[in-house]
Amino acid sequence: MPSVCHLTSVHDARDTRILLHECRSLAHAGYRVFLVAPAESDIVDDDIIVKRVPKPSRRLERMTKTAWAVYRAARETKADIYHFHDAELMVVGILLKLQGKIVVFDAHEDLPDDFSIKLWVPKPLRWLAALFGLLLTKIAGLAFPAIVSATPVIASRFPKHKTTVIHNYPLPEELIEARPTPFQERPPRVVYVGKISWVRGINEMIGAIDALTDAPEVRLTIAGTFDSPELETHVRALAGWERVDFLGWQPRAQVRELLGSARVGLVLFHPEAAHLNALPNKLFEYMASQIPVVASDFPLWRTIVGEAGCGVLVDPLDRDAIAEAIQRLIREPGVAEQMGRRGREAVISRYNWTTQASQLLVAYSELSHAR
């Protein structure tokens, strides 16, 4: 089997899609797998050799100093195939290709739409950022022999013959407790797990909890990291923050325990172009954990949540509608429990990583033969 090196400057070394799903699937299939990523130290995780690069303190440092550190560490692995996950590593991918390496680009987001909602880009220049994202997409489609995309919409940006869709679906058993707390015995806890940002609805989540004045026992537990220090300062000053239990980033075992004691999971992405066709991992993780979801009412999500009957869809900008949905699921535990069960059934039958791992291995087998 050839050796493989996954590269990221943006994501943590413990990222679910990169480490827990893609790298582990390749390692279990017999590939020798390296991962170059921001981390505290070099480690070996389930036969995956994690090569540390320093964690950047600022975005500009990440896009320059960290990207260069990723390139140097990548070269040291002497891998046969390189698989990078961030648009800012495009130059790194091209440099590796020029050295005769097989390079894969993993497109987690639709770059033109994603660049257009970057808050650090001044509003008058976001059209230019979107154009730059389109340019990077075109370069990747021309430069690299294989593209992995997280959704069919993202895949449509790239040449069809070299693109494989690998959805962000969970492992069915990864986040289900062996002995979960019986649903009606759980505290009135609402959870959000993942990156915390404006456009992922942090204001609306806290606003909805604050609006539940006649249900003061309901609390919001957040496990994740803030998009910026400025956002964290703003959020901590909101009126509903006193009803929030903020845990920061949590290992998977703690996430499993948290979801196993929750009543509701929130996925309230704003209706931005980059979100309308997104398939966020957290949505399927809540479903796999057998808890109902309160999610944004997007047409694509309607086909998942609505058809499975596993939650309530709302206007993600309407805090009162969000609060009403939460209150209903808290006050009707029998209904909520049935929704949670239907969500888990949908994950087991359709939305699970097992199907995606097989597609990833087929794509890698074709690359290996080409090599």
pLDDT band for position 368 (cuts 50, 70, 90): confident
Question: Is residue 82 in some structural domain?
Answer: yes
pLDDT the model gives residue 40: 86
Residues 149 and 200 in one domain: no
Residues 322, 328, 330: CA angle, nearest 5 degrees: 100
- Phi, psi values for residue 51, rounded to 5°: -100, 120
The residues that bridge with 266 in the sheet, in sequence order, are 294
Mean pLDDT of the chain: 93
78 and 52 in a single domain? The answer is yes
CA distance 154 to 162: 13
Q: Which pLDDT does position 119 carry in this prediction?
A: 65
pLDDT of residue 361: 95
Report the pLDDT value the prediction gives residue 131, as an integer from 0 to 100: 87
Residue 101 is part of a domain; what is its CATH number? 3.40.50.2000
Q: What number of helices (H) and strands (E) belong to the chain?
A: 17, 14
Instruction: Name every residue whose Cβ is closer than 8 Å to that of residue 316 and which is 6 or more positions away in sequence.
Output: 201, 204, 268, 269, 270, 271, 296, 297, 322
Residue 130: its pLDDT value, please? Answer: 85
Judge if 344 and 363 occupy the same domain: no
Does this model's pTM top 0.75? My answer is yes
Number of domains forming the structure of the chain: 2
Domain region containing 18: 3-169+352-370
**Cα–Cα nearest to 371, from 27, 97, 84:** 97
The one-character DSSP state at 226 is B
Distance CA 114, CA 98 (A): 28
CA distance 15 to 253: 14
Q: List CB contacts of 131: < 8 A, sequence separation 6 or more.
A: 112
Q: What is the pLDDT of residue 111?
A: 87
Supply the pLDDT for residue 371: 60
